[in-house]
């Protein structure tokens, strides 16, 4: 049994490490059953450290073979090994410490440290995986230069590590040996090695300063036909970082390797990024538009980490958002720039809005619930039990919003100046979020004499989603509009346990606003010496007022344009005002938002009716608003597909007093079908007008057409039109790409009649059974299907292709069912929750990090309707009571039950 006692670590307890470890030499004798690792560290006591400071190293699941100092075996009384640490005493101020240990890669199902996947060796060290490879100071503020020797049988011809290849030879015993040297000091979480039988695609490009650099993408033999998009994306990312941020690749060689067993999306190891294959492999036949977009964005993300994460890294893991929030912001901007390139101004603005909408949809579905639940934490947490549990939507996505607000406050040029200053001050260091804000502030105070970012720092200190209440008054005599903004943020998560008298401080909220007259025309706003359609109000106290003059009548406000801050807006628009904004707002984001608010009201009122047992009716005014959007010729297809998408159950749930997912699912389904019936002709027209014949391209314009066409198809199918099924069958049989194929198959299995849908599903598997990523799609489609019950999910788990050991497969079936199948999961008989508990425990025995992610599916149980709340609580208690639970899962379920 594991003895995984949870220990809480606090940010305030940070202490510098007493030793520097400037150099590390690692030698690996790679073998799946037992790999021997020799680690030679140059260890130097810091000048200000006490002379008797022990050298305390971390280790997990390692067998210690030997310890030596300066070439001599260390006497047994000079070191002490406990469960997770090794302490060495009485070291000279400058010593060479050699530790030999063994680990077991083939038996490592945690996918942290060194493990085997598909017969090859891979590593994952962030956050604390390096301690599963060798005893080391496993913390990001210890930075070392690495020299790595890899020795392996010829069955592993490709041997990779960070930096540059400096030697390669065959050993007398027939094994191969290579040496890699990374010229840049790095924390151990950025260490990586890959060994195995791999193929690659490569290209050489010239950097801005004229250096030739080799870019390579490695994959399983046979998959080299699917790495072109990833390699092209890498070239685009390299160029973009040079152009937009003046940041150049600092290595001669940059490698990306695809692996099928991986806990996260990808990892930015210096010069050797290791990727979940789902974010590398793509071709038209097997990857969807969303897959292409995801690959480009994750390739960008990991590449951008080379500066924001690797050159400047985190002092401790509480600072995770320093690199993640910033790098997500950078990848979002990269994607937006790629989508908008080669477009005219209006099309580019729409493409950017589409990207912004997609990012905000993600934030609201994943981060807002987190910020309102038991795991709520500031983007820079104050404590954790298991850092693996803090790779969250808050640290990443809200963290990116906090960076974006600084970008908004400083402007593009100001932000760039702040970034330059950040690198000037901190290149080569391990720093804090405060250091980042200080660099930005140095620019902000020059731009805005008398102001600073003191209040802004509360975004890093406090959790929860602030609520901004808006009041609008008009004085006819003075033709003046007065806007009053008030903010409020209730204590959440750990803040609720704060001592009495704890009051949250106000935030610095950049709040973009526009005003429309009653015909929908934009009113010019005079603000801070300029006249514009959009005014950026900086709310820094609890309540503030602004005046706008020369306005004849009470206008309709367009609020939080472009989602200028991660807040919830309270303003009581009438439905007619929302319809006006939805039809006329010149800010495409706010225009989308108005339509979404209308749809939200509509679905919530349908869910109410459903709960009260009343007949469901759609409001004709809502149908009219949707018709207007669907048929507006000025809107491109990608934008229309977003504008017409019904808000997700996760977003809607945040608006319910007591969450009732099945009622929401029924309401959404009803509305989808009703729209399909009442707008049948318009949807059919959109379906016909947005076909994309010819060769497949994942570019935004054809992808947008497919999105709209397939949205139309789903409405027509939901409405039960016979003709629609014919269209879906035809599309399925003739689809030239995976997007159309999946969309048709999804519509068919969810709404189709007769035998075709299930036959198509079976044929789909037969066709793609050798492609793991497509088989994942096949499982995911069924796991989320309307007809899928717990029983169906259990049957699917018996399929020979199913395994919990592969995280992508577990996500495709188990996570998909538990997180996205409202009816099957949230059944009042509690069988969905019992299934969840079983799977959490089964996964925990294999891979605690993945188990803890699934555990979070019941975070917000206390906000559900009583009939669901009770069995949810019981399931959580069952998991908490299980003996031998990992500390990862313990932290999640105990916080949920607190």
Q: Which residues bind ligand SER (CB under 6 A)?
A: 126, 264-268, 301-302, 324
Q: What are phi and psi of 813, to 5 degrees?
A: -105, -60
Q: Which is nearer to ligand SER, 127 or 417 (CB)?
A: 127
Q: Which is nearer to Zn ion, 123 or 327 (CB)?
A: 327
Choose the stretch contacting Zn ion; rule: CB under 5 A; options: 215-223, 320-328, 361-369, 565-573: 320-328
d(C-alpha 760, C-alpha 766), whole Å: 10
CA neighbours closer than 13 Å in the CB half-sphere of residue 135: 29
**DSSP labels, 599-626:** HHHHHHHHHHHHHTTPPP---HHHHHHH
d(C-alpha 699, C-alpha 293), whole Å: 9
Number of residues in the chain = 898
Kindly write out the interface string for residues 390-429 of this chain, putting x where it contacts Zn ion by CB under 5 A and - elsewhere.
----------------------------------------
Q: How far is CA 499 from the centre of its chain?
A: 33
Which residues, 6+ apart, have CB-to-CB distance to 309 below 8 Å? 268, 323, 324, 327
Catalytic: which of 98, 302, 721, 849?
Answer: 302
244-247 long-range contacts, Cβ below 8 Å, gap at least 24?
244/333, 244/334, 244/337, 244/416, 245/307, 245/330, 245/416, 245/419, 246/416, 246/420, 247/307, 247/423
Q: What are phi and psi of 167, to 5 degrees?
A: -155, 155
Query: How many residues bind to Zn ion according to rule CB under 5 A?
Result: 2
Respond yes or no: is residue 302 known to be catalytic. yes
d(C-alpha 440, C-alpha 595), whole Å: 36
Bridge partners, residue 513, by sequence? 535, 559
Helix and strand element counts for the chain (H, E): 29, 34
Q: Which is nearer to ligand SER, 67 or 111 (CB)?
A: 111
* CA-derived radius of gyration, the chain: 28
- Residue 825 touches which of Zn ion, ligand SER, none (Cβ within 5-8 Å per kind): none
CA neighbours closer than 13 Å in the CB half-sphere of residue 185: 15
- Residue 849 touches which of Zn ion, ligand SER, none (Cβ within 5-8 Å per kind): none
Closest CB to ligand SER belongs to which residue? 264
CA angle, 354 as apex, 348 and 356 as ends, to 5°?
105
**Minimum distance from residue 397 beta carbon to ligand SER (Å):** 11
Pairing state between β 568-570 and 467-475: parallel
Which residues, 6+ apart, have CB-to-CB distance to 860 below 8 Å? 369, 372, 373, 374, 659
- Identify the burial level of 497 via C-beta atoms within 10 angstroms of its C-beta, where 0-12 means exposed, 13-18 middle and 19 or more buried: exposed
Smallest Cα–Cα separation from 857: which of 842, 870, 845, 839? 839
**Minimum distance from residue 671 beta carbon to ligand SER (Å):** 36
- Residue 591 touches which of Zn ion, ligand SER, none (Cβ within 5-8 Å per kind): none
Smallest Cα–Cα separation from 128: which of 57, 52, 64? 57
**Minimum distance from residue 144 beta carbon to Zn ion (Å):** 21
Tokens of 492: 């959440």
Question: Which residue matches tokens 């080799």?
Answer: 214
d(C-alpha 92, C-alpha 240), whole Å: 48
**Minimum distance from residue 324 beta carbon to ligand SER (Å):** 6
Maximum distance among all Cα pairs of the chain, rounded to whole angstroms: 96
Smallest Cα–Cα separation from 347: which of 673, 700, 668? 700
**Minimum distance from residue 324 beta carbon to Zn ion (Å):** 5
Smallest Cα–Cα separation from 248: which of 203, 311, 156, 334? 311
d(C-alpha 483, C-alpha 207), whole Å: 50
Pairing state between β 63-69 and 522-523: unpaired
- Residue 577 touches which of Zn ion, ligand SER, none (Cβ within 5-8 Å per kind): none
- Residue 289 touches which of Zn ion, ligand SER, none (Cβ within 5-8 Å per kind): none
Do residues 40 and 95 lie in contact, with contact meaning Cβ atoms separated by under 8 Å? Answer: no
The DSSP secondary-structure symbol of 146 reads E
CA neighbours closer than 13 Å in the CB half-sphere of residue 606: 25
**Minimum distance from residue 266 beta carbon to ligand SER (Å):** 6
Q: Please, which of residues 325-344 interact with Zn ion by CB under 5 A?
A: 327
The DSSP secondary-structure symbol of 829 reads T
- Identify the burial level of 520 via C-beta atoms within 10 angstroms of its C-beta, where 0-12 means exposed, 13-18 middle and 19 or more buried: middle
Smallest Cα–Cα separation from 485: which of 402, 585, 570, 566? 570
Q: Which is nearer to Zn ion, 329 or 768 (CB)?
A: 329
Q: Which residues bind Zn ion (CB under 5 A)?
A: 324, 327
Residue numbers annotated as active site: 302
């Amino acid at each position: 049994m594991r003895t995984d006692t949870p220990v809480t670590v606090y940010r305030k307890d940070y202490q510098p490490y007493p030793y520097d470890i400037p150099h590390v030499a690692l030698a690996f004798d790679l073998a799946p059953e037992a790999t021997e690792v020799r680690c030679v560290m140059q260890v130097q006591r810091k000048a200000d450290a006490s002379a008797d400071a022990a050298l305390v190293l971390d280790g997990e699941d390692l067998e210690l073979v030997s310890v030596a100092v300066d070439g001599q075996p260390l006497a047994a009384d000079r070191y002490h090994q406990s469960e997770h640490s090794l302490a060495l005493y009485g070291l000279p101020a400058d010593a060479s410490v050699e530790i030999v240990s063994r680990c077991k890669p083939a038996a490592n199902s945690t996918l942290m440290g060194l493990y085997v996947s598909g017969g090859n060796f891979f590593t994952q060290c962030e956050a604390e995986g390096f301690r599963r490879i060798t005893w080391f100071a496993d913390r990001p503020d210890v930075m070392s230069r690495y020299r790595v020797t890899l020795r392996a049988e010829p069955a592993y011809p490709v041997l990779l590590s960070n930096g540059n290849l400096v030697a390669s030879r065959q050993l007398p015993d027939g094994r191969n040996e290579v040496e890699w040297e990374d010229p840049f000091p790095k924390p151990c979480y950025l260490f990586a090695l890959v060994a195995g039988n791999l193929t690659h695609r490569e290209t050489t490009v010239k950097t801005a300063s004229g250096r030739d650099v080799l870019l390579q993408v490695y994959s399983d033999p046979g998959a080299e036909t699917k790495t072109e998009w990833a390699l092209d994306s890498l070239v685009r990312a390299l160029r973009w970082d040079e152009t937009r941020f003046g940041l150049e690749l600092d290595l001669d060689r940059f490698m990306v390797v695809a692996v099928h067993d991986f806990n996260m999306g990808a990892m930015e190891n210096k010069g050797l990024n290791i990727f979940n294959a789902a974010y590398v492999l793509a071709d038209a036949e097997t990857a969807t538009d969303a897959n292409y977009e995801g690959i480009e964005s994750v390739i960008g993300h990991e590449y951008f980490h080379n500066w924001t994460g690797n050159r400047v890294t985190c002092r401790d893991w509480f600072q995770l958002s320093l690199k993640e929030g910033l790098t997500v912001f950078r990848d979002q901007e990269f994607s937006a720039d790629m989508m908008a390139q080669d477009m005219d101004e209006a099309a580019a603005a729409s493409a950017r809005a589409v990207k912004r909408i997609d990012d905000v949809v993600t934030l609201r579905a994943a981060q807002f619930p987190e910020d309102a639940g038991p795991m709520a934490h500031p983007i820079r947490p104050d404590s954790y039990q298991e850092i693996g549990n803090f790779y969250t939507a808050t640290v990443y996505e809200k963290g990116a919003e906090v960076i974006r607000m600084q970008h908004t406050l400083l402007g593009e040029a100001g932000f760039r100046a702040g970034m330059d200053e950040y690198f000037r001050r901190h290149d080569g260091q391990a720093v804090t979020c405060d250091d980042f804000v200080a660099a930005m502030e140095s620019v902000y105070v020059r731009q805005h004499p008398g102001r600073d970012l003191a209040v802004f720092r509360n975004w890093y200190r406090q959790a929860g989603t602030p609520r901004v209440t808006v009041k609008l008054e008009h004085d006819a005599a003075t033709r003046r509009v007065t806007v009053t903004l008030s903010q409020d943020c209730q204590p959440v998560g750990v803040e609720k346990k704060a001592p009495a008298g704890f009051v949250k401080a106000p935030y610095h909220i950049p709040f973009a606003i526009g005003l429309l007259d009653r015909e929908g025309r934009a009113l010019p706003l005079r603000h801070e010496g300029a006249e514009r359609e959009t005014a950026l109000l900086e709310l820094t106290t609890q309540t503030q007022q602004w005046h706008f003059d020369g306005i004849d009548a009470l206008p309709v406000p367009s609020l939080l344009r472009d989602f200028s801050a991660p807040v919830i807006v309270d303003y009581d628009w009438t439905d007619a005002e929302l319809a006006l904004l939805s039809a006329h707002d010149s800010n495409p984001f706010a225009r989308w938002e108005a339509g979404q608010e209308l749809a939200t009201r509509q679905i919530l009122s349908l869910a109410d009716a459903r709960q009260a047992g009343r007949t469901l009716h759609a409001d004709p005014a809502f149908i009219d608003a949707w018709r207007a959007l669907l048929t507006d010729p000025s809107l491109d297809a990608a934008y229309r597909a977003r504008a017409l998408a019904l808000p997700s159950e996760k977003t809607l749930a945040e608006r319910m007093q007591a969450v009732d997912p099945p009622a929401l699912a029924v309401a959404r389904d009803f509305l989808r079908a009703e729209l399909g019936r009442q707008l049948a002709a318009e949807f059919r027209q959109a379906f016909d007008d947005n076909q994309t014949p010819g060769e497949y391209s994942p570019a935004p314009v054809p992808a947008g057409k497919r999105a709209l066409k397939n949205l139309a198809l789903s409405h027509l199918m939901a409405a039960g039109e016979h003709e629609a099924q014919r269209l879906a069958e035809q599309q399925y049989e003739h689809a030239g790409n995976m997007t159309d194929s999946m969309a048709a198959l999804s519509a068919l299995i969810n709404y189709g009649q007769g035998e075709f849908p299930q036959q198509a599903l079976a044929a789909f598997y037969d066709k793609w059974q050798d492609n793991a990523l497509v088989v994942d799609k096949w499982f995911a489609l069924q796991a989320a299907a309307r007809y899928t019950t717990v029983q169906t999910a259990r049957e699917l788990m018996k399929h020979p292709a199913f395994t919990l050991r592969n995280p992508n497969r577990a996500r495709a079936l188990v996570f998909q069912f538990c997180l996205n199948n409202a009816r099957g999961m949230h059944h009042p008989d509690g069988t969905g929750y019992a299934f969840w508990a079983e799977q959490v425990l089964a996964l925990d025995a294999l891979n605690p990090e993945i188990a803890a992610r699934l555990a979070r599916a019941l975070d917000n149980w206390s906000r559900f309707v009583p009939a669901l709340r009770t069995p949810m609580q019981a399931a959580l208690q069952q998991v908490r009571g299980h003996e031998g639970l990992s500390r990862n899962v313990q932290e999640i379920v105990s916080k949920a039950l607190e």
